[in-house]
Amino acid sequence: MSVESEISRLLDVMPASGRMLTKIVSKPQQSKVIDAPFSPPWNRDSRPIYINFDLWRRLPRGQRDLLILRATSSLTGIKWFKPDLYQGITLAGLLGLTVQTVQGDILGMVASGGLTAIAGYQIWRNNRSVQRELDADEEAIKVALRRGYTEVEAARNLLEGLEGCAQLEGRSSLNFTELIRVQNLKAMANLSPVGVPENVKTRE
């Protein structure tokens, strides 16, 4: 497997939005098999997906397909500017901060700045929640259905890919969020009758 041919193949697997908004980058020095770091709103460049192809090539094709689809859905699913309460508060806070700055009102600047920071933090936290991680898995599986996989096949490949990455990275255990993802994927793959409770999904 050459890096160039695999990148070309992965681009074909990805949805159009993923090809437009993300960029696959070879990073042999990283310890992770695949890494799609959280992208801040001021980053206007393509959101990178870093792959250690020395480790990547050890995974079966189906697992690689679902892992790249999952990384893509994770990055394209980040919603900084969709209209909701916290985006409205953030916008109002920024507008108020601008007005107070022009007027030189220190107290008003502090209040507006604090409001903006709190609302911005809530947006950031929502984008890092367990529910968003589960949503990214499920979106990847939906795209995989359009690539010829069944839901059970896709869920199993993503589950095995998640566990396979941990082994290749030399990790003896999964973190909390990964364990929740595993349980949800097992339910989707008909490997477990137990899903993820709603109160767990809403945890940050």
pLDDT digits (tens, 9 = 90+) for 83-117: 444 445 544 555 554 655 666 656 655 555 555 55
pLDDT digits (tens, 9 = 90+) for 154-173: 999 999 999 999 999 999 99
pTM, two decimal places? 0.75
Residue 67 φ/ψ, nearest 5 degrees: -70, -40
Residue 103 has a pLDDT of 62
Give the count of beta carbons closer than 10 Å to the beta carbon of residue 70: 27
Choice between 104 and 123, residue whose per-residue pLDDT is larger: 104
For tokens 């604090």, the residue is 114
Residue 106 has a pLDDT of 64
Tell whether the model's pLDDT for residue 201 goes beyond 70. Answer: no
Mean pLDDT estimate for the chain = 81
Does residue 39 contact residue 86 with C-beta atoms inside 8 Å? no
Query: For the residues 22-30, what does the mean pLDDT come to?
Result: 96
Give the separation between CA 16 and CA 13, rounded to whole angstroms: 9
- Least trusted range by pLDDT, from 56-70, 87-101, 176-190: 87-101
